[in-house]
Amino acid sequence: MIIQEDVIITVTSNQTFDSMEYWTEKGYTNLRPGTGQKLKVKVSELPKFSGAKVLFKCDGCGIEWERRYSKKFTKGPLYSEDFCHKCSRLSVGKAVGRDNAIKGGKKNCGPAHHNWNPNKKEFQAYAYKVRRLSEKVYEKNKHLLNPDDLPRTLCGIDEGYQLDHKMSIKKAFDLGMSEHITASINNLQLLPWVENRTKSHK
C-alpha cells in the first residue's frame, strides 16, 4: 500500500498531457508555466501514468520501498501494488495452486509447470560433457565423419552443416547411457543445419 500522503512534483507539460490545466483543475494556484516549478501535491491526486516516486509498504513482509506511482496500475494479474515483488510471487503461487495459472498470467514454475524437469541440473551437466566429448571425437575422426571438409556453421548459414547425435542427448540421458557412448563415433553424423534443426523439433 502507499504510505505517503504528499509528494513533490515538477510542473511540466507535453503534447499528450497539459500539467498546468490538470493541476489548476485540482485547485492548485500560482502555477508558473515553463519554469520547472516544484509543487507539493496529494499522492491520491496524481494521474495514473505519473512517474513520481512514492513510498510503498508491503502487506506481506512489511518492507518499505520507493517506486514510481504508475507501477501501482501497470502490474499484471500476477502482481498487486500491496505486495513487494517477492511476496507477489509467493501470493500468486498459493492462489494459483499446483495445476492452474491465473487467467491472463503466466503458468506456475516448479513441478506444476508442463516442462518441469526434476533432473535439469543433472541433464545440463550430462549434455555439457557429451558435447565436449563429441568435439574431441570429431577432431580425432574428422576424416571419417567429414571427409569432404564440409563447413560447420550456426543455423541460417547457407550450405552449412552441424554435428548431430543420431540418438539425441536427451533420449540418451533418459535411457541412462554413458556420456562416452552418446558421444561415440557411432552416434555422430554431419547434417545440414536445416535438417538438424527439423530433427531436433520432432
The answer on 107 and 13 residing in a single domain is yes
* pLDDT computed for residue 82 by the predictor: 66
Q: How confident is the model at residue 184 (pLDDT cuts 50, 70, 90)?
A: very high
Which of 66, 82, 112 is the endpoint of a domain? Answer: 112
- Tell me whether residue 46 is in a domain: yes
CA distances from 98 to 21, 93, 107, 116, 120 (A): 50, 8, 9, 12, 19
Q: Residue 176 to residues 16, 119, 171, 179, 189: CA-CA distances in angstroms?
A: 62, 12, 9, 9, 21
Domain finish residue from 62, 81, 112:
112
pLDDT at 100: 46
The owner of cell 503534447 is: 15
Question: Which tens digits make up the pLDDT trace of 85-143?
Answer: 677 666 555 544 444 444 444 455 566 665 666 677 888 899 999 999 999 999 999 99
67 domain-assigned: yes
Domain assignment present for residue 1? The answer is: no
The answer to whether residue 188 scores a pLDDT higher than 60 is yes
- Of the residues 112, 142, 176, which one is the last residue of a structural domain? 112
Same domain, 41 and 102: yes
pLDDT of residue 185: 95
Q: Indicate whether 45 and 13 sit together in one domain.
A: yes
User: 155 and 99, same structural domain?
Assistant: no
Using only C-alpha atoms, what is the Rg of the chain?
A: 29
**Same domain flag for 24 and 40:** yes
d(CA 82, CA 59): 6
How many H helices and E strands in the chain? 8, 6
What pLDDT is recorded for position 104? 45
What pLDDT sits at residue 32?
75
Q: What is the structure's pLDDT at 139?
A: 94
- The pLDDT of residue 89 is 65
Phi, psi of 6 (to 5 degrees): -125, 155
Amino acid 146: pLDDT:
92
**Buried/exposed 141-159: b ≥16 CB within 10 Å, e otherwise:** eeeebbeeeeeeeeeeeee
Residues 146 and 166 in one domain: yes
Place of cell 510503498: 56
In a shared domain, residues 105 and 45: yes
Count how many Cα atoms sit within 13 Å of the Cα of residue 100 in the half-sphere of its side chain: 7
- Structural domains of the chain, count: 2
* Choice among 45-59, 81-95, 147-161, 166-180 with the minimum mean pLDDT: 81-95
14 and 90 assigned to the same domain: yes
How confident is the model over 9-52, as pLDDT tens digits?
887 766 556 777 777 888 877 777 677 778 888 888 888 777 78
Does 78 share its domain with 147? no
Q: What pLDDT score does 103 carry?
A: 44
One domain for residues 124 and 172: yes
* Full residue range of the structural domain in which residue 186 is found: 120-200
Reported in sequence order, the residue ranges of the chain that DSSP labels E, i.e. its strands, are 6-10, 38-42, 53-57, 64-68, 161-165, 188-192
